[in-house]
Chain A
Amino acid sequence: MEPKSILIADDERHILNVLSIKLRNAGFSVIAAEDGAEAYSLAQSARPEVIIADYQMPLLSGVEVCSKLWADPQTRHIPVVLLTARGFSLSEGDRALGNIKRVIDKPFSPREVLACIHGLLAEVAVRGH
């Protein structure tokens, strides 16, 4: 069976490295983006199962990427996990975006992120997408 693909987006390469090793070891295929614009474009072309995106990124922020993906019927179903600096919280408007499923503080526990991904994929399976 083809491995499920996950898009990870962060301008900090060491975060991309940590995440991609953890995800690859868990059997996923990983696509990486280093800024918001690349993330948006890859999300459209590759249609990953799940997206993990940093909040702070050049060109487009994590929330702006979510907003654009939510507005597009082809991509609005893709669940997104946002990574943010500790102590940060989303605005009311941000939280209204239905594709943001989870917000995780940095430094994150890689184990927790992986568990979150599995949970989201299970939810999608149950919903029958």
Chain B
Amino acid sequence: MIGLAKTGADHLPGSSFLQWAELWSGLGLWLSLWDERGNCVEQAGTGERFWNALAQHSKQYRNRLQQTARAAPQTGPVTTELDPGSGLVVIAVPVTRGRRVVGSLLACGLSPEFSDQEVLARFCDLHEFDRLLCAGLAADTPRHGLETLRAYAAILRHQVDSWSAGALARWDIEGLSAELAQAYEELNLIYRVSADMTVSKRPVAYFEKLGAELLAATVVESLATVLEPPPRVTAESAVVMTGPLEAGREEVLRLYDQAHHHGRNAGASLVVNDAAASPEFSWAAHWLQRFVFFELSRNEQRFGGILAVNRSDGQDFGSEEIQLINSMAQRSAAFLENVRLYDDLEQLFMGMLHALVSSIDAKDPYTCGHSQRVAWLSRHIAGLAGVPDGLSQRVYLGGLLHDIGKIGVSESVLGKTGRLTPAEFEEMKRHPEIGARILESVPQVGDLIPSVLHHHERVDGRGYPAGLAGEDVPFLGRIVCLADSVDAMTTSRTYREARTLPWAAAEIRRCSGSQFDPALADLLLQDDLEGVVRKMARSGRRGPMRA
């Protein structure tokens, strides 16, 4: 037996070889399988008395086989005598993978010459084999002429080639499957991250999630995102870090600055695969091996940038992960643009509303800041009543707009000192309906109409304009009614000075159930009224007030 080498040879036929060996031994051929370095990795089983004895006994034989295996050419098969005139023929078939020779299959057989006494003698001398023993062992081994052996060689070649083609295909499938699996991961990442791009999602939370997803799906080790504040806003940049990054905030910002100002083609990402070797970035070498910088910008607006820092396998950054992160960076920039537009619009809307409302309040110096204060207090009361944050913001807007109808009331009535005549009072009473009509044409504030139309209703039904009672008065109306009255009590008017807090509290209690919703009145009375009134004052500049 030839000593076998242990290789991890999945590129050489293993179980197939054993099947071939058994088939060919029926014809008297002895098969052995060799790797590209000339080590024997498989040989035919122990049933072959002659061949096994020869292999065991003759070092010359083993060496010659090894030499033949090493010399196996790309184009085979080659059929030759092992040694000239020895009567022992070996067929060498190369085992290939694509264009590379990865091993060889040797088939040994006996030619008719082997029966000749002289040939046998020479053979046994060469291999130091006992002649009688040799002849005895070889007696049952069939002999084949050269033509036959050449035919066998062709069949062996075909067997090996078929196996090689199959092995190559299996190798291809494995590679393709790995690629496919990676493609599926990336697709899923894109789906999940896209679902997160809602304008109500705050950018920091979004980039925390994006960072986690990218780290899980790629070989990137750490991710740092820098988000700059919008123009004309004085605030610090936000830095979101994911992964085992050993850099502080300041270091990341410094790297971001450098990367951002580094010259490169527009739209291309900056790739630095050996930071230690570059004079610009070697300052960070204790935590930075390599990085890729992706700008977050769109339509000439700059939002910040993403830094992919270090790879978990220590290799250089390549186009695959760069492409994926680049694509996510571009989607994210579009998302940031939308967030900024939305924030801008919201600011614009609120700014305009405040300006509009202030212009109405300004007509009467005593009502300066009134709408802002009512808005604040309405939201506060809504909070006490358990209204969730999103809705309580609408309550704020309702409070802000409640007196908008006053724009339709003549200035002489609005600015009159002293009591109003009945006719003047009737005119004043129209302001809820006027306000509601104004708001009707703006669908986005349709839900605020109740605060405008019904803030002068009373739960006892003696209010205006509709005389609604109890639960029929919309919730918004009941809240604003209370807030409106509290502000009126605690500020000076044209016809009287501001009331004291104890007076105001007593009045709220007295009117609870008649003018005011009793539940809301209770909530306010149980709260810290002095603190509330103080905070309310801060939200809108007030006229003279008595403590």
Contact = CB atoms under 8 A, between A and B. Distances in A.
B387 interface: no
B177 A109 contact: no
Interface in A21-65: 21-22
Nearest to A17: B177
B185 interface: yes
A109 B185 contact: yes
Contacts, number: 35
B188 A17 contact: no
Nearest to A107: B184
A110 interface: yes
A87 to B, nearest CB: 12
Interface string B214-256: 0011000000000000000000000000000000000000000
Contacts of B188: 107-109, 112
B174 A21 contact: yes
A22 B217 CA distance: 14
Contacts of B216: 111
Nearest to A106: B184
Interface string B152-191: 0000000000000000000001101110110111011100
Nearest to B184: A107
B173 A17 contact: yes
Contacts of B174: 17, 21
Contact of B178 (A21, A108, A112): A21
Given A17-B180, A18-B177, A18-B184, 20 more contacts: A14-B180, A17-B173, A18-B180, A18-B181, A21-B174, A21-B177, A22-B181, A107-B188, A108-B184, A108-B188, A109-B184, A109-B188, A109-B189, A109-B217, A110-B181, A110-B184, A110-B185, A111-B185, A111-B216, A112-B188
A21 B172 CA distance: 13
A21 B181 CA distance: 9
A104 to B, nearest CB: 10
Nearest to B187: A107
Interface in A91-129: 107-112
Interface of B: 173-174, 176-178, 180-181, 183-185, 187-189, 216-217
Identify whether the interface residues of B are mostly helix, strand, loop, or mixed.
helix
Interface of A: 14, 17-18, 21-22, 107-112
25 contacts: A14-B176, A14-B177, A14-B180, A17-B173, A17-B174, A17-B176, A17-B177, A18-B177, A18-B180, A18-B181, A18-B184, A21-B178, A22-B181, A107-B184, A107-B187, A107-B188, A108-B184, A108-B188, A109-B184, A109-B185, A109-B188, A109-B217, A110-B181, A111-B216, A111-B217
A112 B178 CA distance: 15
A18 B429 CA distance: 75
A18 B183 CA distance: 11
A14 B174 CA distance: 10
A110 B173 CA distance: 17
Identify whether the interface residues of A are mostly helix, strand, loop, or mixed.
helix
Contacts of A109: 184-185, 188-189, 217
A43 to B, nearest CB: 24
A107 B182 CA distance: 11
A109 B173 CA distance: 19
A90 B189 CA distance: 24
A111 B176 CA distance: 17
A24 B181 CA distance: 14
Contacts of B187: 107
Nearest to A21: B177
Q: Which 5 residue pairs spanning A and B have beta carbons closest together? A: A109-B188, A17-B177, A110-B181, A107-B184, A18-B181
A70 B216 CA distance: 35
Contacts of B176: 14, 17
Contacts of B185: 109-111
Contacts of B178: 21
Contacts of B180: 14, 17-18
B94 to A, nearest CB: 29
Contacts of B183: 107
With most chain A CB atoms within 10 A of its CB, the pick from B174, B177, B180, B189 is: B177
A14 B180 CA distance: 9
A83 to B, nearest CB: 11
A58 B497 CA distance: 87
A21 B185 CA distance: 14
A100 to B, nearest CB: 21
Contacts of A112: 188
Nearest to B183: A107
A111 B187 CA distance: 12
A116 to B, nearest CB: 13
Nearest to A20: B177
B115 to A, nearest CB: 53
A14 B188 CA distance: 18
A20 to B, nearest CB: 8
Nearest to A108: B184
A79 to B, nearest CB: 22
A112 B188 CA distance: 10
A21 B173 CA distance: 10
Nearest to B186: A109
Contacts of A107: 183-184, 187-188
Nearest to B173: A17
A18 B174 CA distance: 8
Contacts of A108: 184, 188
Nearest to B192: A109
Contacts of A22: 181
A122 to B, nearest CB: 20
Nearest to B180: A18
Contacts of A110: 181, 184-185
B182 to A, nearest CB: 9
Contacts of A111: 185, 216-217
A17 B184 CA distance: 13
A107 B178 CA distance: 14
Nearest to B188: A109
A108 B260 CA distance: 36
A18 to B, nearest CB: 5
A86 to B, nearest CB: 9
